[in-house]
Chains A and B, each alone.
Chain A
Amino acid sequence: MGTVSADILSRKPWFEYGQPARLSLATSLDSRLRRGRALDGETTESSDGAGSEESHFFLISNPESMKDRIFVEESVMNRLGRISQLGLKEIWIGRNPGEHNRWLHSVGAFDVAHIWTRVLLEDGRLPSHWNMAQTEDQVTLALNALLVHDYGHLPFAHLTEEVLHNLNWIPPAPVSLPPGLEGQVLHFRFNELVDESRVFSASIGKSVGSTNEVALTVIESLIAGNYGLPWLQTVVNSPIDADKIDYVHFDDAFLGKADYRTQTRMPDGLGWLEEFLQDQFVNHAGMLCLGGRSARAAADLWRERVQLYDRFYLAPDLRVPDRIAGEILQQGIIRCTLSDRFRNAILEEHIPGLNEAFRQIDVIDPIGLKFQVVSGIMRQFASFIRTSDRELEILSELWKHLSVWPSLNPDYVALLERGFELLEAVQKGRPLRSVVETSLVREPLLLRREQYELAVETLRPVQHAYMSEVLIDIVALPTPLAPPRRWRTQWGGDRGGLDYQLLVPPGRASSWTTGMTSSVPLDDACVAELDEPYARVSVISPGEADTSQAKFVWDRVRAILLEANLHLLSPGED
């Protein structure tokens, strides 16, 4: 078994030991930590001996009930460990990007789901007449799904998806997969494991009395939000899934350490989880029913998530460096995809024969071809990561070639150069706020979320016209529930909307109290008051926000939005 970077295993467990006995399932974490020490010491055999027989699997969980059931290939762990959870944001806020990576997050989500499902299983919260052996098998698959749910992620977190959306280079995904680049890469990588007879665990198939192929199909379906058993789907991908619980909790703590506090409603993760698990059960139809206490805790999670998006993930401060990095990435992706010479220059020197591999890609359609090339390039980029700078290393490599590329407009290159210098300065310790002050032109313009798409299309030609002066950034805050995309019906007027998959007390979230019983399906209307239904338009001129030209473009952007009948909101206007 190969070695694993120590930072992957340095994360503190989601649940500390010595907590209330009814959450004694934290023993699984004990195993993980012991395993972590073994890896640090370069021991190749796991503490329970499982490693000797199937050395390429990495045993995570120790409880007897889970033994031989939860396996993840080491290559999966390594790949996930190289990708930052927050992309470049971790550098922007002055943290080491290795502190929070996709592997640590996956294990955190697994921990949450493990405890959650054990409580439901062992505390009589499931219909007693269900076949419990079969239910255990389904839970096994759900836990495996959480360990690999981010396996489709490539470097730069969601920035790559943003670039592809911006270019309209994302082909429609099969129904069984999560949409976008992430879903298709996930499918590609699963197939890769199957093709190489390295299905990530032979034991998964055995445990559900079926084949590995079926097990992988179920796992993909759970990740895509396309599984037919509502309560289990809720655990893996839903408005309150273990993934969200882990990243919201962890990011809160992470931001606190980075002096980027967000006044969390979930300061005590275990306390929150205890509250969340107090008052829930699964009804005859397989729907998870959240009673008053549980639903209130869920509402806190949704509030917290909305706040994180508003104040951190999509905050103007963080979007300034992200937008600059995104522009360099976008140029890199375009050149790599459309220019053999550029791709040769940037990739061939690292990976001989790569161009030939790209030529072998089947041409399904032009968009599909571009998409496959980008997907391939990004997977190769991931292998560039050698230092703790992670994605910034890739960005530096791209910039090195772009800055001297002859066919780029010199004024545009000058804009990118100013931007890249600022990114480097932030990495070297320059406060982010000073970079933002010199780059963000005036204040962001606020719109209603439903006008986001129109604003994007309205400003697309403006961005082209002023490409050498400014970068225009448009973001929409997500809805509080953020269900899997498959759950939402886009047509049907008032009748359409979210699939009914879990139950909550009646009324609005703010009126939920202890003692209320779940009786209505969760819908957007329940949490309407938690929503921040806005989109923001920012004009960014790296290092030159105060120039008359930058302010002129800001005025033009505002005027064009008004001309297009887009309603601009004043600060504080609802």
Chain B
Amino acid sequence: MTVAVKDTNVDDVLDVFSVFLRSQRHLRKHPLLVVGAGVSKGEIPLLADIGSWLARRLRTDDLSPKLGWLVEHSEDLARGRASRRQVAELFTCLQSAEPISSGLSAVWNEFSRALLIDGFEIDGQSFSGISSARARETHRRIASEIRDMRCWTVSLNFDGLIYQALRWPEVSSNFPGLSLHSEVEFEHYFCSRAEQSIPAVFNIRGDVFYATCTQPLCPRAVQPYPIADDSPTRGLDPGTEPELPDSDRLALTFEEKSQDGSNALSCNLCGGGTLSLQFSFPGLRAKEELAFPLLWKLRRFLGPSISAIVVIGLSGMWDRYLLQFLFDLSSERRIPVLDIKPEYPSQNPIETFRAAHFPSIYSRGLGSVQPESTFTFVSTTAEHALPILFSK
């Protein structure tokens, strides 16, 4: 049974959590924010939106009848009924380096370009391409707390909007902050001899787009590269010219056509190859294998510095490995988990997972929060919750 706090109790619960977080700051402990796609809803398409687009596009394609299941899977994804297996099958087939149909390759290229650059419209809602998406109030609020060193933040999003928000002038007038993607980058950050700290977002390989170059000699042909949060001018007010943190990031070439004139994205490193996008979709084993070491690395560095786990905008449907990790962490370190979601689903997948696998982490309602393994779900928006949580 889902024990949730709704409506009028929400502010009370958040207020109690806020007091708890403040008390933990005396012990130099801060909450670990785990940010899912929900915080970018409306700005960046969710998986269901992607499913809708794919279903519509695939229906117009002259697909072999044998591939009719692709449309069915896309439709299930759009309606929120797809299983992990279905999603894995769908994306594996679409982005395969050796597609079973040449038409699928074109669909994937078109989708990649639409998602990244051109944008698209689904069910009356239009999305601009990720490269022109802008950080919202929630992203800025999280960025502000990161800058003030009042939280640790793990992002599972490919949009890079928190990182973008870190660079907004009203948040930070100095260095824009860091977006870290790998074990090596995490370790380098914590083990640096630097005296001055720089706020950082820790990106776990979640629903991330990675790119590889089709030119075999290109360095990017070897190692998939995250294309998320690197467009240096994206989302900035006109006239501001931030420092370029990394000039060879792939985002710089989004506007370019590939040499063969197709809609495919070109690689700006070798200039001759076509970028093949790889979406780390839910259920992909490689994704989970890569995500786990990152989470563990973070866990060992942050260790006793985590006061609570605050999950924001994460459905929990697709990331069982992450839920396993978070509840293990909560259980071992005796830290409370707070789940914030705007809607109140009839079955919260995170709560269902907890009840099935971590019954000793009990659901709590009102009352004081202790440094114990507990789970609380509040049904409200991040815009509403974050100011209260960090008000003290």
| A residues adjacent to B (C-beta < 8 A) | 127-129, 174-176, 210, 214, 217-218, 221, 225-230, 233, 281, 283-287, 289, 486-487, 489, 491-492, 495-501, 503, 517-521
For this complex, 13 residue pairs linking A to B, each with C-beta atoms less than 8 Å apart, are A214-B26, A218-B26, A228-B29, A228-B30, A228-B307, A233-B304, A283-B195, A486-B333, A487-B303, A492-B296, A499-B300, A499-B301, A500-B303
A residues less than 8 Å from B26 (CB atoms): 210, 214, 217-218
Chain B residues near A129 (CB-CB < 8 A): 195-196
In the bound complex, do residue A284 and residue B304 qualify as a contact, i.e. CB atoms below 8 Å apart?
A: no
Q: Which residues of B contact A498 (CB under 8 A)?
A: 300
Which A residues are CB-close (under 8 A) to B29? 228
Q: Which residues does chain B contribute within 8 Å of A495, judged by CB atoms? A: 292-293, 296
Q: Which residue of A lies closest to B329 (CB)?
A: A489
Residues in chain B near residue A225, CB distance under 8 A: 304
A-B residue pairs, 3 tightest by C-beta: A499-B303, A228-B28, A284-B197
For A282, the closest partner residue in chain B by CB is B195
**A521: nearest chain-B partner, CB-CB:** B191
Given contacts A174-B371, A287-B190, 15 further A-B contacts (CB under 8 A): A129-B195, A175-B371, A176-B371, A221-B27, A226-B304, A228-B24, A228-B304, A230-B305, A281-B193, A283-B194, A284-B194, A284-B197, A499-B303, A500-B300, A503-B191
CB pair A175–B372 under 8 Å, yes or no, is yes
Q: Mark B96-128, 1 if CB is under 8 A from A, else 0.
A: 000000000000000000000000000000000
> Which chain A positions have C-beta within 8 A of B190?
285, 287, 500, 521
For the complex formed, measure the closest distance between the CB of B133 and the CB atoms of chain A, giving whole angstroms.
30
A289–B193 touching, CB < 8 Å: yes
B190 to chain A, nearest CB (A): 5
Minimal Cβ-Cβ distance residue in B for A517: B193
> Across the interface, which residues of B come within 8 angstroms of A284, CB to CB?
192, 194-198
User: Given that A221-B27, A521-B300 are known contacts, is A228 also in contact with B191, CB under 8 Å in the complex?
Assistant: no
* A233 neighbours in B (Cβ, 8 Å): 304
Q: How far is the CA of A229 from the CA of B189 in the complex (A)?
A: 16
Q: Which residues of A contact B191 (CB under 8 A)?
A: 283, 287, 503, 518-521
Q: What is the CA–CA distance of A281 and B30 in the complex, to the nearest angstrom?
A: 23
Contact with A along B368-382 (1 / 0, CB 8 A): 000110000000000
Chain B residues, CB < 8 A from A229: 28, 305
Q: Are B193 and A217 in contact (CB under 8 A)?
A: no
Residues of A contacting B292 with CB < 8 Å? Answer: 495
- B193, A283: Cβ atoms closer than 8 Å: yes
Closest residue to A224 on the B side, CB-wise? B304
Complex: chain A residue closest to B299, CB-CB? A489
Q: Mark B287-321, 1 if CB is under 8 A from A, else 0.
A: 00000110010011101110100000000000000
- Within the assembled complex, what's the spacing in Å between the Cα atoms of A498 and B303? 9
Specify which of A175, A281, A503, A520 lies most central, judged by the most chain B CB atoms within 10 Å of its CB.
A175
Residues of A close to B296: CB separation below 8 A: 492, 495-496
Q: Which residues of A contact B27 (CB under 8 A)?
A: 217-218, 221, 226-228
Interchain nearest-CB distance for A451 vs B (Å): 25
Task: Provide the residues of chain B in CB contact with A503, threshold 8 Å.
Answer: 191
Bound form: Cα–Cα A419–B366 in Å: 58
Instruction: Name the one of A227, A283, A518 contacting B28, with C-beta atoms under 8 angstroms.
Output: A227
Q: A176 to chain B: which residues have CB within 8 Å?
A: 371
Interfacial chain A residues near B30, Cβ < 8 Å: 228
Report if B84 contacts A (CB, 8 A): no
Of A218, A281, A499, A517, which contacts B304 at CB under 8 A? A499
Output the least CB separation between A519 and chain B (Å): 6
Whether B304 contacts A489 by the Cβ 8 Å rule is no
The complex places the Cα of A289 from the Cα of B292 at a distance, in Å, of: 27
Return chain A residues, CB-CB under 8 Å to B293: 495
Cβ-defined contact, A285 with B333, below 8 A? no
CA of A497 to CA of B332 in the docked complex: distance in angstroms? 13
Q: Are A486 and B304 in contact (CB under 8 A)?
A: yes
- Closest approach, in angstroms, between the C-beta of B144 and any C-beta of chain A? 19
CA distance A214 to B29 in the complex (A): 14
Q: Is the CB of A497 within 8 A of B195?
A: no
Cα–Cα, bound, A487→B29 (Å): 15
- CA gap between A230 and B343 in the complex, in Å: 39
Complexed CA–CA distance, A482 and B68 (Å): 61
User: B300 — which chain A residues lie within 8 A by C-beta?
Assistant: 489, 497-500, 521
Q: Within B161-202, which residues are at the interface with A (CB < 8 Å)?
A: 187, 189-198
The answer to whether A127 and B195 touch (CB under 8 A), given A218-B26, A227-B27, A491-B328, is: yes
With A and B bound together, what is the CA distance between A324 and B372 in angstroms?
40
Closest-CB distance, B382 to chain A (whole angstroms): 24
B334 adjacent to chain A (CB < 8 Å): yes
Residues from chain A with Cβ under 8 Å of B189 in the complex? 285
Instruction: Report Cα–Cα, A286/B189, bound state, in Å.
Output: 12
Q: How far is the CB of B178 from chain A (nearest CB, A)?
A: 12
A293 to chain B, nearest CB (A): 16
Bound: A283/B190 CA distance, A: 8
Contacts of A492 in B (CB 8 A): 296
Most buried by B among A491, A492, A520: A492
Contact across chains for A521 and B301 when beta carbons are under 8 A apart: yes
User: Smallest distance from the beta carbon of B23 to chain A beta carbons, Å?
Assistant: 8
Task: Give complex CA distance A288, B167 in Å.
Answer: 30
Closest Cβ neighbor of A130 among chain B residues = B195
**Bound Cα distance A519, B198 (Å):** 18
Most A CB within 10 A of own CB, among B26, B299, B307, B328: B26
Complex CA gap A284/B372 in Å reads 29
Residue of A nearest to B28 (CB): A228
Q: In the complex, which of the residues B193, B307, B328 has the most CB atoms of chain A within 10 Å of its own CB atom?
A: B193
* Shortest Cβ distance from residue B254 to the other chain A in the assembled complex, whole angstroms: 34
**CA–CA, A307 and B292, complex, Å:** 38
